[in-house]
Structure 1
Amino acid sequence: MKRIKPMAAVLLATFAAGGNAVAAPDLKVALIAGKTGPLEAYAKETETGFMMGLEYLLGPKMAINGRKLTVIVKDDQGKPDLGRTLLAEAYGDDQVDIAVGTTSSGSALAMLPVAKEYKKVLVVEPAVADEITGAKRNKYIFRSGRSSMQDALAAASTLKNGSVAFLAQDYAFGRDAIKAGKQALQTTGSKASVVHEEYAPAATTDFTAPTQRLFDALKDKPQPRVLAIVWAGPNPMNKIADMKPERYGISLAPGGNILPIMKTWKAYAGTEGTTHYYYGFPKNKMNDWLVAEHMKRFKAPPDMFTAGGMAAASAVVAALQKAPSGNGDQMAAAMEGMTFDTPKGAMTFRKEDHQALQSMYHFRIKKIQQNEWDLLELVREIPAGDLPLPVTNKR
């Protein structure tokens, strides 16, 4: 007697003989961002960059190896509880293969255990808290964005000696950044002394009192005297500059900010700082495309979080190409040590903590600006190899 083939085998043979094939299911990615709330501008830039990145990498078909890629966008409003809920919804109900998010560090930290619970990869962009790839991380967490320590190491590399005081917002981002700043000075071997830390509420509009305390702390200390400003959202540099720090020999050192904020710094030409992206600095094919297309579509160059969104898209595409099954363990293994292209150039997820190693930039505010977006000149690109980023996670 002839054995009867199982029905599945018969169907497969039939489809093969007829030249047909069962369509593979769509690949799904969730993008979670704080699209309403204080970081709305950052979130919208991230979404724009993410979608443009997929377009650049995948073309109009938006497919990887013949499988259509679907993006599900969710707004966590910068709220940790909502971020946690939305990620669980994405993994559980929406059955996404991989997720990206989010804007707020508080929300991102709340999401980390969810990725571990569902055994699915989460690419963190653009939240910067060091704990994300440090003490709180797990095997499913990868960050394409930079960390607070990478910001701090870039800034510290420009300060060899003298005195520094910090101004930051009085919440997790600000305190994490200043902690990193102090550690970075030690790590880079800087002889600069930290003489004061000032924390102000995020909603502060009158900076007179905190600025005077910073001036008083710095004015008699060894030169150079630097007031480092670490601030998310509307930056207080103009208000601080109006109080004339130069009368005490104090220089301001702002971190890079979004373009609408930096446009207001024109009066402070010559001031130096560090940033993780400015559209005119990187010279590569991906950034050239991003700048040209963004100018064409939005009449303005891409901003730092736009570039970050594109970097996250590149990481997602590379991960799905390496592990198309969507299995989180396989994907996490494939992503360790993975190098992927971004508007800043190639980045690599470090095996030890899954932080993307990347260049940073030392800038100077231009004295002669050719147009409204011609804001910064490059002092030096700081390669990843010059940023001794410590490994702080417990594997």
Structure 2
Amino acid sequence: MKIIKPIPTALLAAFIATAGSSSAAFAASAPDLKVALIAGKTGALEAYAKETETGFMMGLEYLTGGKMEINGRKIKVIVKDDQGKPDLGRTLLAEAYGDDKVDIAVGTTSSGSALAMLPVAKEYKKVLIVEPAVADEITGAKWNKYIFRTARSSMQDALAAASTFKSGSVAFLAQDYAFGRDAIKAGKEALAATGSKARVVHEEYAPAASTDFTAPTQRIFDALKDKPQPRVLQIVWAGPNPLNKIADMKPERYGIALAPGGNILPVMKTWKAYAGTEGTIFYYYGFPKNKMNDWLVAEHTKRFKAPPDMFTAGGMAAAGAVVAALTKVPNANGDQLAAAMEGMSFETPKGTMSFRKEDHQALQPMYHFRIKKDQKNEWDILELVREIPASELPLPVRNKR
């Protein structure tokens, strides 16, 4: 019988030390994980883009314990401004995948630009996480397997709003471009999907840069004033919201209630005079109760003297998806990442989200709010009527997989 001699303790210790130092040296020499963040930092949606970037960077900080690394590899974020222009968005994403050799990309602010970017992800076989663009086509007709969305969709917005309209008459006011028309189309479908008995009696589309709402509002009032109660005007608007100007026309004369979609904090703080008005929103800093949101609210308030906004939370959600994905697939191979991310759950300021396997849309709760009567400070704007769980939002699958 051959006797195997034990390895001397000193020699074994030396081997372990050598192996450990080699692993550490490998981690230290491993290439950076590169992430492209594309956003419309100039143009009409500049405020949204800046919030997204802030939230994304804070998300990476929180999720990596301040180290800004995953599995020992440093995270390098390359930020590009597409100015909300589809052609530029497409070019910048190709540049990020091709020249910068990024492992994964996130973007962008404008739905038009995001839609232009989708085929680029397919061409390069690299994952694109869409945040904060909302057009339904992104996870619908224009989708491909490399596309994942942490942002909510127009249909999720619409389903949340529809859940608050049980009966009566509804009119819509929206901007006359893809976002607005997509939102109203989704709104009408959502009413049917939620079993609402409310009937849509009018749709009004105004130029995106409108400042005078007298004529379109009067047309809405005329269409609603004799219809069954309750009478609701649903406002879907990106950027400075027309709520104040419409309220000045006294819709209550006709028994019409206004239902604004949630907006960024600088817009909503101008709504103080409309206490009791209700609407729906995908994030307000005071609503979610979890460790990540607690940290975000505290840190953002400390650093910026104001609480985080809707798109700040969205950027942090995208960071959660990036960290979870690259932890699962360290080599960042596009096909392996796409497979691993299907059904993947990840942490966000709204709680745990999951990418639906069928179309890679992040399923998430929404919030029914009421504008507060007693506001303690300029950011104390909304009170929660009800969190609407994702399970109550019957989001259809519309991609052609």
TM-score greater than 0.5 by the shorter chain: yes
Q: Which residue of 1 aligns with 2:70?
A: 64
For the residue of structure 2 that corresponds to 1:362, the secondary structure is strand
Q: Which residue of 2 aligns with 1:81?
A: 87
Q: Cα distance, 1:17 vs. partner?
A: 7.2
Q: Cα distance, 1:61 vs. partner?
A: 2.1
Q: Which residue of 2 aligns with 1:44?
A: 50
Q: Which residue of 1 aligns with 2:152?
A: 146
For the residue of structure 1 that corresponds to 2:271, the secondary structure is helix
Among 116, 122, 136, the alignment partner of 2:142 is: 136
Q: Distance in 1 between matches of 2:157 and 2:20?
A: 58
Q: Distance in 1 between matches of 2:20 and 2:206?
A: 70
For the residue of structure 2 that corresponds to 1:289, the secondary structure is helix
Q: Which residue of 2 aligns with 1:281?
A: 287
Among 251, 256, 261, the alignment partner of 1:255 is: 261
Q: Distance in 2 between matches of 1:80 and 1:106?
A: 6
For the residue of structure 2 that corresponds to 1:346, the secondary structure is strand
- Amino acid in structure 2 at the alignment position of 1:352: E
Q: Distance in 1 between matches of 2:141 and 2:126?
A: 19
- Amino acid in structure 2 at the alignment position of 1:225: R
Q: Cα distance, 1:59 vs. partner?
A: 2.6
Q: Distance in 1 between matches of 2:20 and 2:176?
A: 66
Q: Does 2:154 match 1:112?
A: no
For the residue of structure 2 that corresponds to 1:320, the secondary structure is helix
Q: Does 2:354 match 1:372?
A: no
Q: Which residue of 2 aligns with 1:162?
A: 168
Q: Distance in 2 between matches of 1:24 and 1:319?
A: 18
Q: Which residue of 1 aligns with 2:315?
A: 309
- Amino acid in structure 2 at the alignment position of 1:98: I
Q: Distance in 1 between matches of 2:19 and 2:73?
A: 22
Q: Which residue of 1 aligns with 2:206?
A: 200
Q: Any residues of structure 2 matched to 1:1-395 within 5 Å, and which?
A: 19-20=21-22, 21-22=25-26, 23-395=29-401
For the residue of structure 1 that corresponds to 2:205, the secondary structure is strand
For the residue of structure 1 that corresponds to 2:148, the secondary structure is strand
Which stretch has the larger CA shift, 56-65 or 285-294? 56-65
Q: Distance in 2 between matches of 1:160 and 1:58?
A: 44
Give the alignment's TM-score, normalised by structure 1.
0.95
Q: Which residue of 1 aligns with 2:6?
A: none
For the residue of structure 2 that corresponds to 1:184, the secondary structure is helix
Q: Cα distance, 1:24 vs. partner?
A: 1.2
Cα deviation code 1:255-296 (max 9, x no counterpart) = 000000000001000000000000000000000000000000
Which stretches of structure 1, 4 residues or longer, exceed 2 Å deviation after superposition?
16-22
For the residue of structure 2 that corresponds to 1:341, the secondary structure is strand
Q: Cα distance, 1:19 vs. partner?
A: 4.1
**CA distance 1:327–1:246, shift in 2 (3 Å):** same
For the residue of structure 1 that corresponds to 2:348, the secondary structure is coil
- Amino acid in structure 1 at the alignment position of 2:196: S
- Amino acid in structure 2 at the alignment position of 1:384: A
Q: Distance in 1 between matches of 2:329 and 2:146?
A: 13
Q: Distance in 2 between matches of 1:154 and 1:17?
A: 55
5+ long unaligned stretches in structure 1:
1-12
Which stretch has the larger CA shift, 51-60 or 208-217? 51-60
Pairs aligned (count): 382
- Amino acid in structure 2 at the alignment position of 1:56: Y
What's the RMSD between the two structures over aligned residues? 1.2
Q: Distance in 2 between matches of 1:375 and 1:61?
A: 35
Q: Distance in 2 between matches of 1:324 and 1:330?
A: 10
- Amino acid in structure 1 at the alignment position of 2:73: R
Q: Cα distance, 1:18 vs. partner?
A: 10
- Amino acid in structure 2 at the alignment position of 1:59: G
Q: Distance in 2 between matches of 1:367 and 1:351?
A: 42
- Amino acid in structure 2 at the alignment position of 1:177: A
- Amino acid in structure 2 at the alignment position of 1:214: I
Q: Which residue of 2 aligns with 1:10?
A: none
Q: Distance in 2 between matches of 1:96 and 1:323?
A: 14
- Amino acid in structure 2 at the alignment position of 1:285: K
Q: Distance in 2 between matches of 1:275 and 1:17?
A: 53
Q: Which residue of 2 aligns with 1:4?
A: none
5+ long unaligned stretches in structure 2:
1-14
Q: Distance in 2 between matches of 1:392 and 1:368?
A: 43
Q: Cα distance, 1:188 vs. partner?
A: 0.4
Q: Distance in 2 between matches of 1:84 and 1:339?
A: 28
- Amino acid in structure 2 at the alignment position of 1:39: L
Q: Distance in 2 between matches of 1:337 and 1:60?
A: 27
Give the alignment's TM-score, normalised by structure 2.
0.94
- Amino acid in structure 1 at the alignment position of 2:324: A
Q: Distance in 2 between matches of 1:19 and 1:130?
A: 50
Cα deviation code 1:142-176 (max 9, x no counterpart) = 00010000000000000011000000000000000
